[in-house]
Amino acid sequence: MPFTPDMRRKVDQIRDYLYGGGYPDPLSNAEQLSFLFFFYMIEGIDAANLRQAKATKRDYTSLFAGDWTLRNPLNAPAKGVETISRERMRWSSWANAMSGEQLVTFVRDEVFPFFVAIGDAFGMSFMAQARLAIDEPTVLTQVVTLVNELRLEQADPDTKGDLFEHVLRQIKQAGELGQFRTPRHIIRAIVDLVDPRIGETVYDPAAGTAGFLVAAYEHIRLANSSTNGREVAELEGKTFERGHGDRLKDAQWRKLQTATFYGNDVDPKMVSLASMNLALRGLPDVRILKRNVLTTSFDRQMKAERGLPLDGYDVVLANPPFSGRLDRDRIVDDVRIGTSTATELLFVKYMIDNLKPGGRCGVVVPEGVLFGSTGAHKELRRILTQNNRVEAVLSLPGGVFQPYSGVKTSVLVFRQGGRTERVMFLHASNDGFKLDANHDQPIEADDLPGLIAAFNSREEMWADWQKRDPAAPWTENWWFADAGAIEREDWNLSASRYRPESREAAEHRDPRELLEELQEDVETILGDIQALVAELRGEAA
């Protein structure tokens, strides 16, 4: 069953009920909905586990077996009764039988504590510290009724995932640490550049709502689908191809579901949303840890205890928060780069160190990382180019992360180890959406598919580049720079620095590109000023 207009309408109705009922925060609303979806679905998952255990003659005890000690005497069926059957915690028991104040009291004081209590034992870390926030009786009754009408048990994992993505799309503000929801078409482009494959481990150290992990899962499934196992799906006004993974063997499916995807986030709300996003898509065993990787480190024993790969990851995909700075004393030694406290630099250093030899990374960075003139900026780029292989820099259009942020960004694609011989620069003027304050209106102009195709044919493109006439105008939106040229520029990795220029080409350049280059120059100057201020403060201290 696909994500139908009727399902979309019901989800929008839920959002409207919440907003009109005095709950205006889309992030909190999405988290609350994720809990309700979980309560709805866990009943079916528990029943399926019971059937499987019976068929395979394995022991399994239902989550709803036994008694529950009431937290609030008002929820007792009779005066003096202190326990009730855990069967009462099933969605079908309370959602269809209660309404109003009784519903709020039971869900708040019994249902939430019940799932929090069993969360750790069953790997449901996203339930830790979960609380009911929708405590207006009429609103909660309406929301529970609409969740019932979605009939989630009849939907396939892709449909449930699309439904939840529609919920997440309403989150249009950045978090305090600069984290925000990355547009899914941008995520798919980055995943296509890095090309995660079956059997590899995939990691997002700042997972947010797990968009990169979901996209990697869909990418691997598509790559292992027959012609008949593919279909066209639509999301955010754009169509894309989705595969069912019908060429995957049972052992490969098990690995994909239990030993492929890993992630962290510092925000407990994001941990909840990411865990639900993955569970809805058939990946309930993927655990997103609540963790700040810049201030905590795991040794091999701690990794083993948490079921994490001991020697790094094959693929790292991320759009880490890049608007904050950390207290220098909290930064773990592993990620230090000079004296910098800028999260955008520390995250890239962390990713380099957590890749396996030959592992691949695709990470969104603010442009300043590519050309900043502080010692930490230069040292990070030196490490990237001299101790690793930078394969490509994709310059994204300005405004691609609106309405969250207007920061100009690029995507770094690199492999761990070796040495950079040349870098392919890819310049996108359009990404398929109108570059306005909302960035949500689809348009025809889209450079990303062509740039991905160019990257995938980069050996042939390199041959064409070498054969070009340097005096002739260069009209392609990709070009190269070799390691020598990059080193002479203090390892500057800004695409515009190496763009071939000629009088003819300059006369026809898009004004937006010129404005982006001007923005880069301004950001460079601001970076120098900030570095000088930091140095003066350090001397004063």
Q: What is the CATH number of the domain that holds 129?
A: 1.20.1260
Where are the alpha helices (H) located in 224-280, listed in sequence order? Answer: 250-258, 268-280
Looking at 138, 168, 198, the residue that finishes a domain is 168
Residues 261 and 139 in one domain: no
532 CB-near residues (< 8 Å, 6+ apart): none
- What tokens does 100 get? 């109003």
State mean pLDDT over 179-185: 75
Residues 143 and 206 in one domain: no
Each as own residue / partner, the long-range contacts of residues 368-371 (CB below 8 Å, 24 or more positions apart, any chain) are 368/344, 368/523, 368/524, 368/527, 369/344, 369/345, 369/412, 370/410, 370/412, 370/492, 370/493, 370/494, 370/495, 371/492, 371/493, 371/494, 371/497, 371/520, 371/523, 371/524
Are residues 314 and 360 in contact, defined by beta-carbon separation less than 8 angstroms?
A: yes
Look at residue 31 and tell me if it is in a domain: yes
Q: How far apart are CA 445 and CA 117, in angstroms?
A: 51
Residue 463 has pLDDT above 70, yes or no: yes
* Least trusted range by pLDDT, from 4-8, 240-244, 410-414: 4-8
Residue 537 has pLDDT above 70, yes or no: no
Position 175 scores a pLDDT of 46
Look at residue 504 and tell me if it is in a domain: no
Residues 241 and 223 in one domain: yes
- Whole-angstrom CA distances from 267 to 68, 104, 263, 370 are 30, 26, 12, 28
As a whole number of Å, the CA-based R_g of the chain is 25
Look at residue 505 and tell me if it is in a domain: no
Residue 491: left if φ>0, alpha if ψ -120 to 50, beta else—which one? left
Residue 524 has pLDDT above 60, yes or no: no
Residues 141 and 271 in one domain: no
Q: How far apart are CA 529 and CA 527, in angstroms?
A: 5
Q: How far apart are CA 88 and CA 43, in angstroms?
A: 11
- For 519, the domain range is 512-540
364 CB-near residues (< 8 Å, 6+ apart): 182, 186, 190, 318, 319, 320, 396, 409, 410, 411
Our count of domains for the chain comes to 3
What digits encode the pLDDT tens for the residues 388-436? Answer: 999 999 999 988 877 666 778 999 999 999 999 999 999 999 999 988 8
Looking at 147, 168, 189, the residue that finishes a domain is 168
Per DSSP, 286 falls in state P
Look at residue 309 and tell me if it is in a domain: yes
Residues 293 and 430 in one domain: yes
Burial state string for 58-96 with b = 16 or more CB within 10 A and e = fewer than 16: eeeeebbeeebebeeeebeeeeeeeebebebbbbebbbe
Q: How far apart are CA 428 and CA 362, in angstroms?
A: 16
Fill in the amino acid letter for 69.
T
Greatest CA separation for the chain: 91
Indicate the SS3 state at residue 415. Answer: strand
Fill in the amino acid letter for 511.
P
Look at residue 485 and tell me if it is in a domain: yes
Residues 94 and 181 in one domain: no
Q: How far apart are CA 212 and CA 201, in angstroms?
A: 13
Indicate the SS3 state at residue 227. Answer: helix
Strands (E), 266-382: 288-290, 313-318, 355-366
CATH of the domain at 228: 3.40.50.150
Residue 536 has pLDDT above 60, yes or no: no
State mean pLDDT over 8-30: 88
Residue 129 has pLDDT above 80, yes or no: no
Higher confidence at residue 111 or residue 509?
111
Residues 313 and 375 in one domain: yes
CA torsion angle for 490, 494, 497, 498 (degrees, to 10)?
A: 100
Each as own residue / partner, the long-range contacts of residues 3-6 (CB below 8 Å, 24 or more positions apart, any chain) are 3/155, 3/159, 3/162, 3/163, 3/166
Residues 36 and 86 in one domain: yes
Are residues 263 and 274 in contact, defined by beta-carbon separation less than 8 angstroms?
A: yes
Q: Over pLDDT 90: what percentage of the chain?
A: 55
Residues 202 and 337 in one domain: yes
Residue 255 has pLDDT above 90, yes or no: yes
Residue 507 has pLDDT above 60, yes or no: no
Look at residue 60 and tell me if it is in a domain: yes
Q: How far apart are CA 398 and CA 512, in angstroms?
A: 8
Q: How far apart are CA 127 and CA 119, in angstroms?
A: 6
Q: How far apart are CA 283 and CA 207, in angstroms?
A: 15
State mean pLDDT over 171-189: 68
State mean pLDDT over 276-304: 90
Looking at 123, 152, 168, the residue that finishes a domain is 168
State mean pLDDT over 464-468: 93
- What tokens does 456 get? 């995938």
Q: Over pLDDT 70: what percentage of the chain?
A: 89
Residues 179 and 164 in one domain: no
Look at residue 23 and tell me if it is in a domain: yes
- What tokens does 352 get? 């380099």
Position 504 scores a pLDDT of 43
Residues 89 and 207 in one domain: no
Fill in the amino acid letter for 307.
G
Q: Residue 537, class by beta-carbon neighbours within 10 Å (0-12 exposed, 13-18 middle, 19+ buried)?
A: exposed
* Least trusted range by pLDDT, from 206-210, 235-239, 305-309, 352-356: 235-239
Residues 111 and 41 in one domain: yes
